[in-house]
Structure 1
Amino acid sequence: MIRMICLFAAIAVAAPAAAQTALSIDALAADVVAGNPERQYLARQISLAQTGVAAAGRLADPEISVDFGEKRTDSPLNGQRLGDGPAFAVSILQPIEFNGRIPLRNAIAQGNVTLARLGLAQFDATLAGRARSLGYRLFAAGERADAAAAVAARMRSLAAVLVARDPAGPAPRLEAAVLEASAINAERIAAEAQAAYNAALYELNGLRGQPFPARVRILRPPSAPPPLPDVTVLADRLEVGNFELLALKAQLDQQGLAVRLAEKSRVGAITIGPYLTRERGDVRDTIAGVRAQTTIPLWNRQEGDVATAESRAAQGEAALIATRRRLLASLHADAALYRARSEALAKWPGDAPQHFAEVAAGADRAYRLGAVPLATYVQMQTGWLDAQTAVLETRAGLWEARENIRILTGGGEQP
């Protein structure tokens, strides 16, 4: 009965898997980036920042001033009122900035476009790296779950055969109990691997905007990635290609421009435009002309704005230094992890999981024929699971370290 349940469960899992579209790791990353629902909002930030560039180059809105009043005219000789009437004045003034302030505002707004593009590029690189890492984890968890389920089914099948035979003493029942206990442990490993598979699957589907239960089949990735360049070469690539550093440098450039803009703001803008004044008392007076006005930089109230801008620039310098130190530490740690796992994999045969799987299958046949004892059989089955877990986990960690280095150095094809 237990064997039939395991068989039906394996068929139920394998049936939908056969209809799945197989994806390579790189195809999975491209699919996640193309289907991610958050990316469209980051892409929209670029168009919004470009709108800010267009607005930064425009003149300030003109100002209109309207005055209403009453004119009364009295004679200076006898104080007699000569006449009274309405008076009004109208002026339209256009503020004009000079001293290079508009180009500075334009450069600051252009920096916002650069930051938006860097943000989108960093999001794409991080998203693709996370998708590849999850793809490796998904493949490893699936392989581990399949192997553990096969071992559990194999041991339960043997246990059922031993119990069905006529026992000649307590040995068959004891062997059946050992097989049952080993099958329980293998089923625990399969359940843990299935949980890890589901966790990676749900996160992947969330990233690519698909229903969480949608199944994905990952093609077998290469056994190991290519060798890693020297860490000094990677450090140079990090300096010129890391998105976080590039964004901080762009922000620092903007803060330098903001300091210059605050310094130039001490000299006020010139407001110029036509005006018209009309008064009517004993006679009608009309005055038309051009008015210009500006501020007198006497009290230097802009000194506080300059100090604030310089403080932000100093904070940006400190943030750049701290970020560079943190990123270099992460780069060295990932490079060391990459090389350590690469050296471990190099000591193991490339076909170690397949070799142990074949040996485990041979041990099953040999035990059924009575050629090997129970201890050797159980040790071979559990040894296959342990070896496969070690190889798969080491490869997955190796690929994850590579993806971290790829993101740190700018998200290129090769780190």
Structure 2
Amino acid sequence: MRTQVAIIGAGPAGMFLAHLLHAEGIASIVIERRDRRYVEGRVRAGVLEHITVDLMRRLGIDARLREHGQVHRGTNLSLDGRLIHIDMAALTGGRTVTVYGQQEVMRDLFDAAEARELPIVWNAADVVCEGLQGNTPTVSWNDRDGRHTLACDFVVGCDGFHGVSRGAIPAERRQSFERVYPFGWLGILADVPPAGHELVYANHERGFALASMRSTTRSRYYIQCGLNERIEDWSDELFWDELRLRLGPEVAARVTPGPSFEKSIAPLRAFVCEPMRWGRLFLAGDAAHIVPPTGAKGMNLAVSDVLILAEGLGEHYRGSSAGIDTYSQRALARVWKAERFSWWFTSITHRFPDMDGFDRRVQIAELDYLSGSPAAQRALAENYVGLPLAA
């Protein structure tokens, strides 16, 4: 078997890249260790930057997005119940974000892949990358029919934080940067109307809360929790009571409680691997970086990675290596800005275990300043809707 680009992982990074390469006339094969139902069913982010929305439109996979996506022109912060509205569209020249679940994005990507006959290998076990420093690297895997080997020009690791791709770079040739946060997010999904038409990020003396949504009839809510807490300790009734307390009376009055059909606890961490290229291997998405969910950057960073990489691969097959040679530098420039924003946004909205009175007063002062400063609001808005790709 042979192709031009082997893509490991059929998540957002891998599938967006496959479609971008297809549009460039570059052959690729996606290799995924799970099946479509599993990948499509994972509950993930739901806020799309304008760059992601524009790409779906460009790829011709935005029909359902246009029908079901919710365009948000602003967002809200809450400090012990006092709301601060950020008019993102007004502050950024009309740029917005769109609420549309990652599960829906994956459905659109997979449906279009079937229609375009983009090859995907499902249930690939024991994936191994070899020959990454040569001209013809290979990717091999097992399935029920035995061992298979795919020769290619390039390998792109889009297989997430726990995938095999990053480990194919020798330890002495890569550097990792990590920040593990001392709390997690307890989240639920419920088929109830959302508390408003925009998100609310709440900073309360008892901890962070987020009022979000997936549609006009499905809500997504989170509260900050300890890493040692268990889902079993949180009944729906306890969750709704704590959520409404942290959101404050104005927002709480608009919360419609109901039975949850999904409940999970997610730890928060930040992680970056440098470089994002080694020989004929490129890393993209969660294989290279993780951001706290506060800034809604995870899937959007995967999109910016593969936009940069697809451009570089297109240039390569037209005779120039400049794009692939600068891929890691360009991608990391945007990654670190997103890491900075997610760290900052987390720092002003969450209660940290070691916070003392001074830390709390500084946090309140930061939010007070944000509430009255158009310049500070513009900086938040520019980062939230998504910074441009690095030149």
TM-score (norm 1): 0.24
Instruction: Work out which structure has the larger RCO, using CA pairs closer than 8 Å and 6 or more positions apart in sequence.
Output: 1
Larger strand proportion, structure 1 or 2?
Answer: 2
- Give the TM-score, by structure 2 length: 0.25
Higher helix proportion (structure 1 or 2): 1
Larger radius of gyration: 1
